[in-house]
Amino acid sequence: MLQYIIKRILEMIPILFIVSILIFFFTHLIPGDPARLVAGKDATLEEVTIIRAELGLDKPIWEQYGSYMNHLFHGNLGTSLKTGLPVMDLFVDRFMPSIYLTLFSMVWALVIGLLIGTLSAVFKNKWPDYFGMVTAVSGISLPGFWLGLILIQIFSVQLGWFPTGGAEGWKSYVLPSITLGAGIMSMLARFTRSSLLETLKADFIRTGRAKGLKESVVIPKHALRNSLIPVVTIAGLQFGFLLGGSVVVETVFSFPGMGRLLIDSIAFRDYPVIQAELLLFSLEFILVNLLVDILYSFLNPKIRYVA
């Protein structure tokens, strides 16, 4: 097990390395001169040249990458062109709200998705199943930004239950979390249903029922536990969907998180922030996939990973 975890971590290194190269070179392809942006429209050519040298942009691109990586290993993500502040400082206030938002969305999506999926499977072809699956297909098809706007209109503007934006207090997380988690919840409900239906056909379930076990024991203890394996995998893979979706949801709710910062940075072409954000997002995504693989092996004792 430990060997497997070490192997997976070692595998992550070259991927992260290639990702960092891609992000660095791609962000340098963004049109526009960063030195000109910092200097302002009225700056003279000399001023722009001085700023370019200060930013190290006059050096060959490989040298720039080397210096970027060197700084990265020392915890220095660069300086924002827009604010002049270290990128790390910009992340400090925004990182945790985004993580909370993603986690809240995933937690409610998992709980409700599992519940709907289980009820649909147990009451197959009855009204809870039809209701659950209509909800699931609709949830996958809903544009997140539209759902967010409707929720703001109903629960913030008309009923006044929740704030329309910001990240102050638990109330400001409710509507963004619902919006962000809706798609994942629907996907998980569908996977839970099909996975549970498959498990319910298994011999050990028939044995359990033949022994006279109650359905309240067979379903949660025997069937659901075994059905969770593919569901956990899907949940992990969908984490990326949440990271991408958070950009849209944070924009709708004026949520001061990483996603909104990315959009603001793109608008200003603040490439040190853009590249640091993209790197962080991919690191998060790769780490979550690793965690999912580890959890997968815990849930399914049949799986014996050989490093």
Partner 1 sequence: MELSKTVNQSNTIITEKKYSPLKEFWKNWKRQKTALWASFFILLLIIIAVVGPYIAPYDPYKPDYNSMLQGPGSKHFAGTDEYGRDIFSRLLVGSRISLSVSFLSVFLGAIVGTILGLISGYFGGWLDRFIMRSSDVMFAFPDLLLAIAIVAILGPGLNNVVIAVSIFSVPSFARLVRGATLEAKETVFVEAAKSMGASHFRIMFQHILPETLGSLIVFISMRIGTAILAASSLSFLGLGASPETPDWGAMLSLGRDYLGTSSHVVMMPGIAIFLTVLAFNVVGDGLRDVLDPKTKNE
Least gap, CB of 230 to partner 1 (angstroms):
12
Based on CB atoms, which residue is closest to partner 1, 50 or 292? 292
Least gap, CB of 157 to partner 1 (angstroms):
6
Distance CA 55, CA 141 (A): 45
Q: What are phi and psi of 91, to 5 degrees?
A: -75, -30
Quick one: three-class SS letters along 65-117?
HHHHHHHHHCCCCCECCCCCCEHHHHHHHHHHHHHHHHHHHHHHHHHHHHHHH
Least gap, CB of 45 to partner 1 (angstroms):
25
Residue with tokens 């379930």: 205
Based on CB atoms, which residue is closest to partner 1, 107 or 154? 154
Beta-carbon neighbour count of residue 44 at 10 Å?
Answer: 9
Least gap, CB of 46 to partner 1 (angstroms):
29
Based on CB atoms, which residue is closest to partner 1, 8 or 43? 8
Least gap, CB of 193 to partner 1 (angstroms):
8
- Could you list the residues that contact partner 1 (CB under 8 A)? 15-16, 18-19, 22-23, 26-27, 29-31, 124, 137-138, 140-146, 149-150, 152-153, 157, 190, 193-194, 197, 240-241, 243-245, 247-248, 251-252, 262-263, 266-267, 274, 278, 281-282, 285-286
Based on CB atoms, which residue is closest to partner 1, 45 or 157? 157
| Alpha helices for the chain (secondary structure H) | 2-29, 34-39, 45-55, 61-73, 87-122, 127-141, 144-151, 171-200, 203-210, 215-217, 225-237, 239-252, 258-268, 271-299
Residues 6 or more apart from 303 whose CB is under 8 A from it? 296, 297
Least gap, CB of 148 to partner 1 (angstroms):
9
304: left (phi over 0), alpha (psi -120 to 50) or beta: beta
Least gap, CB of 189 to partner 1 (angstroms):
12
Specify whether the CB–CB gap between 285 and 239 falls below 8 A: yes
Based on CB atoms, which residue is closest to partner 1, 255 or 285? 285
